[in-house]
Amino acid sequence: MGLWRRYLDWRRRHVAALELTEGGFRLAHGRASQVLAWSDVRQITAFKRDLYAFDCICLLIATPDGVMEVNEQMAGFVAFREAMEQHFGFPPTWYIQIMTPVFEPTPIHLYRHPELAEPAP
């Protein structure tokens, strides 16, 4: 087996990827995958991880079954981000807001399902 083939096999096993589906998305990691419908999303929170040399933009996505994390290093993230913005109706400016200032925590709550709305005081 050549070096290139071994690299591709390693990448399939270790690199997570986001793929759009008809009604949501799939998070694939190696042989495992999780499919989620947009309607199952309860909350989305954006934050960034300080990785010393650069920041990594991440999203926590709450579902009825738990929480999943996706980030901009995953294959397919740009298409996923654009579809998410369109489906939930929040502006793409969130991405710039969370990026600045660099190396500073700037969490943003992007979406909260109407059933989870906080009661009025």
How far, in Å, are 20, 24, 25, 43, 47 from residue 39 at the CA level? 14, 8, 11, 11, 22
Tokens of 61: 């996505």
- Helix, strand, coil shares of the chain, percent, nearest 5, are 30, 40, 30
Task: Evaluate if residue 120 carries a pLDDT over 70.
Answer: no
Q: What is the pLDDT of residues 64-104, one digit of tens each?
A: 999 999 999 899 999 999 999 999 998 889 998 998 888 88
Task: Evaluate if residue 20 carries a pLDDT over 60.
Answer: yes
Task: Give pLDDT, residue 45.
Answer: 95
DSSP string of 38-62, one letter each residue: GGG--EEEEEEEE-SSSEEEEEEEE
Q: Backbone dihedral region of 76: left (phi > 0), alpha (psi from -120 to 50 degrees) or beta? A: left
**Cα–Cα distance between 112 and 98 in angstroms, integer?**
18
Share of the chain above pLDDT 70, in %: 87
Task: Give pLDDT, residue 16.
Answer: 82
Cis peptide before 101 (omega within 30 of 0): yes
Residue type, 54: F
